[in-house]
């Protein structure tokens, strides 16, 4: 689907469920996340489905060479916005995987959906995520009471060619 130097995005597979559960059901690690502490059957039902960007897609972030699950990426297109969310397994945190993936993906999403704002939300106490968003070119937009989250908007600069994100979206 979509690849960077070290990782790729792909649909979830049955073999990913145990690793997914290991980090998603880790209360200390997932303190700033929703979609956690569920059973394998519920995760299977939510992850192993046909992909539809308008209803939201959860994609596996895997190490390109070994196909090991590193984390996951959520995307949903609603009207004139594309919302993103990301989670990395604690085993692979602070190694630059999410940064690498989003540095490649975000400009391409913006080029593919030029009319859309790309939005990410995070808890105001999640300083590592806020720092990553700022590093990637997001700017603080507003507090969203309903979600108890800060919203950040991606501010792309320059002209970008659509690379393999076209193939990613066509395959959905």
Mean pLDDT throughout 111-131?
91
Mean pLDDT throughout 118-146?
90
CA-based nearest residue to 57, from 104, 105, 103, 23: 105
Tokens of 166: 């076209």
Which CATH number is 34's domain given?
Answer: 3.40.630.30
pLDDT for the residue numbered 170: 58
The total number of structural domains that make up the chain: 1
Around Cβ 15, how many Cβ atoms within 10 Å?
10
Q: Which residues contact 139 (CB under 8 A, 6 or more apart)?
A: 152, 153, 155
Mean pLDDT throughout 143-166?
71
Distance CA 55, CA 42 (A): 17
Helix (H) or strand (E) run with residue 149 in it: strand 149-154
Report whether pLDDT(81) > 90. Answer: yes
pLDDT for the residue numbered 150: 84
Mean pLDDT throughout 42-56?
91
Percent helix, strand and coil across the chain, each rounded to 5?
35, 30, 35
For residue 11, what are the domain limits? 2-170
CA angle 138, 140, 143 (to 5 degrees): 135
Around Cβ 149, how many Cβ atoms within 10 Å?
18
Report whether pLDDT(172) > 50. Answer: no
User: What tens digit of pLDDT does each residue of 10-30 get?
Assistant: 999 999 999 988 988 877 766
């Amino acid at each position: 689907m979509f690849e960077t130097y070290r990782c790729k995005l792909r649909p979830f597979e049955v073999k990913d469920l145990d690793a997914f559960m290991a980090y998603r059901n880790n209360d200390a690690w997932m303190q700033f996340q929703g979609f956690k502490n569920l059973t394998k059957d519920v995760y299977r039902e939510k992850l192993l489905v046909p992909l539809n960007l308008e209803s939201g897609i959860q994609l596996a972030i895997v190490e390109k060479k070994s196909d090991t699950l590193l984390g996951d990426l959520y995307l949903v297109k609603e009207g004139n916005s594309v919302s993103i969310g990301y989670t990395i397994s604690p085993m692979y945190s602070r190694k630059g995987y999410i940064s690498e993936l989003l540095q490649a993906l975000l400009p391409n999403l913006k080029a593919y959906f030029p009319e859309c704002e790309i939005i990410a939300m995070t808890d105001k106490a999640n300083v590592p995520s806020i720092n990553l968003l700022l590093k990637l070119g997001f700017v603080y937009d507003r507090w969203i009471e309903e979600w108890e989250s800060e919203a950040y908007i991606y501010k792309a600069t320059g002209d970008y060619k659509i690379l393999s994100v076209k193939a990613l979206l066509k395959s959905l």
